[in-house]
Structures are given as C-alpha cells and as structure tokens.
Amino acid sequence: MRVWMPAGLLSAWLVAALLAPVLPLSPNDVELPKVLSGPMPDAWFGNDELGRPVLDRLIAGARTSLLVAVSVVCVSLVLGTFIGMSSAWLGGFWDHVIVRIVDVFLAFPGILLAIALAGILGPGIENVIFALAAVGWVGFARLARAQTLSFRHREHVLAAVAMGSGPSRVLIRHVLPLIAAPLIVEGTFGVAGIIVAEAGLSFLGLGVQPPDASWGSIIREGTRYMLVAPHLVILPSMALMLVVLSVNMLGDTLRDHLDVRTKELHEIR
C-alpha cells in the first residue's frame, strides 16, 4: 500500500494533466444559475462563484502545476548540477565564490526570494517558472558539489585524467553517473516543493492569472465563500495535499531503493 496508493494518485494526476487539452472540459464557462452549487450528478465537485465546474478547473490546474513543476525542476537540476560539479572540480577561487553565493541564497527562505522575484517580474506562468528556478538550483548545486568532491579522487576518475581525458569528459562520463541517484531523489522531492510554491504564489496573486486555473488561485477564490460553499476550498486543498504527499512518499521509496546502505540493512534484517 505504501507504494501503490501514491503511485495511483500520481498516475491520476499525470493522466489528468496530460489529457486536459483533449478532454471535453469547460473550466472557463460561466453558468450563473449554478453559482456556488454543491456537488451534483452533472458537476461532481460542484460549481464556483461564477458557476464554473470545479472539477474541470481542478484538472486544468493539475496541468498548470505539472508544467511548472517539471519546468522548474529540469532547469534547476541542469543548472545546479553544472555549477556544483564545476565548482568541486575546479576548486580554488571559483569554488570559494560559488560556496559563498550558495550560502547567501540559503540564508533566506527560498519562498520569500521567489515571492520577491515574482513581484518584481510581475504575474504570469513564465515569470513563476523563472522565479522558482532562480532559487531552486541552489540545493542541486550544493548536493552536486558535495558528491563530486567525494568521487573526484576515485581510482577510475584519476585513471581517466591520467589518460588525458578533459574535465568535461571526466565529469560527464565518470562522475555524473555516480552522483545521478541522489540528484534524482533530490529532484523528486523538489517536485513536491515546487507544486506547493506555485500554489502559494498563485494564492497571493503572483502566479497564473484568471481565467487560467491554478490550485492556489482556486483556493484563494474559494476562501470568500467558505461558509456557504466549503467545497471550493476543501476539494482543491485535498487535491494539493494528496499530490504532494504522494510525491514525497514515492521520493522516500526511491531514496530507500537507491541507497545501498539501506538495502544492506534490510538484507541483514
């Protein structure tokens, strides 16, 4: 159950997000007779303050969260890995500068920096991706640097250097495969963090703008009607919680699977 339940929830999220453009959805259709109506047969999750179907808007919001999460994690992973590996390999002044920059970023909460950048750049999904990626690379850079430092003196790496391989070839062919597992696990947990951050920015009005749907903006709009239509807050909040919880649970499982020490401990038991 520990694996199949979160896997099923994530599969439903991915399928809904990927098929949203081709599904017969009407997330922006206004139907005034159905304003604030609760769940019913033709609208399983009810309708919002403009009569729009909540289920359709949740599916559209799932696509938004998937797009932002994948984009930010991919950019942060590539950029942070490159900076971290380069810093550890070159050392000296370059490594000192990178470490100081990372320390400065880590001195402030990442979400506050993202809010500041999103406020400066203005609302919009492109600016949200840029703002979150601008602060998301730090964790990957720190992890990549630490892992590269631990592997740069391995025998096969020293042998590749002695045979005349250039730094880029050594890092890509001999070091990157060794540090890929912890980076993948970090990226998995990063997806959960980005989903929450995107919802938070949209809740503050700095993310996706109406009429486009985002789980954060749906929750923000529903807070004004909690007493008469609590489903406008409860349902998107449950969707957000279940997806983030599922990603974290699968991240824990993936980490245990890739951690050799954990495998050996289970075998001993």
Write out pLDDT tens, residues 91-107.
888 889 999 999 888 88
Answer yes or no: is 93 within a domain: yes
| pLDDT exceeds 70 at position 165 | yes
Answer yes or no: is 96 within a domain: yes
Answer yes or no: is 37 within a domain: no
Q: Is the pLDDT higher at 67 or at 266?
A: 67
What CATH number did the domain enclosing 261 receive? 1.10.3720.10
Tokens 């696990």 -> residue: 185
Is residue 195 within 8 Å of 129, Cβ to Cβ? no
| pLDDT exceeds 50 at position 161 | yes
pLDDT at 162: 84
Which DSSP string corresponds to the chain?
-TTHHHHHHHHHHHHHHHHTTTS---TT---GGGTT---BTTBTT-B-TTS-BHHHHHHHHHHHHHHHHHHHHHHHHHHHHHHHHHHHHH-HHHHHHHHHHHHHHHTS-HHHHHHHHHHHH-SSHHHHHHHHHHHHHHHHHHHHHHHHHHHTTSHHHHHHHHTT--HHHHIIIIIHHHHHHHHHHHHHHHHHHHHHHHHHHHHTTSSSPTTS--HHHHHHHHGGGTTT-THHHHHHHHHHHHHHHHHHHHHHHHHHHH-HHHHHHHHH-
Answer yes or no: is 209 within a domain: yes
- Other C-beta atoms closer than 10 Å to the C-beta of 213 total 27
pLDDT at 144: 92
Domain of residue 62 covers 49-268
Answer yes or no: is 9 within a domain: no
| pLDDT exceeds 70 at position 177 | yes
Is residue 218 within 8 Å of 54, Cβ to Cβ? yes
pLDDT at 265: 40
pLDDT at 143: 92
Per-residue confidence band for 267, with pLDDT thresholds at 50, 70 and 90: very low
pLDDT at 260: 54
- What's the one-letter identity of residue 35? V
- Name the least confident of 198-212, 227-241, 248-262: 248-262
Answer yes or no: is 22 within a domain: no
Q: What is the mean pLDDT of residues 218-233?
A: 88
Mark residue 205 as left, alpha or beta (left: phi above 0; alpha: psi -120 to 50; beta: remaining).
left
Read off the pTM: 0.87
Is residue 137 within 8 Å of 82, Cβ to Cβ? no
| pLDDT exceeds 60 at position 1 | no
User: What share of the chain in percent tops pLDDT 70?
Assistant: 95
pLDDT at 244: 92
- How many domains does one find in the chain? 1
Answer yes or no: is 88 within a domain: yes
Cα 147 versus chain centre, distance: 22
pLDDT at 2: 63
pLDDT at 268: 45
Answer yes or no: is 238 within a domain: yes
List, in order, residues 6 or more apart from 32 with CB less than 8 Å away.
Answer: 50, 51
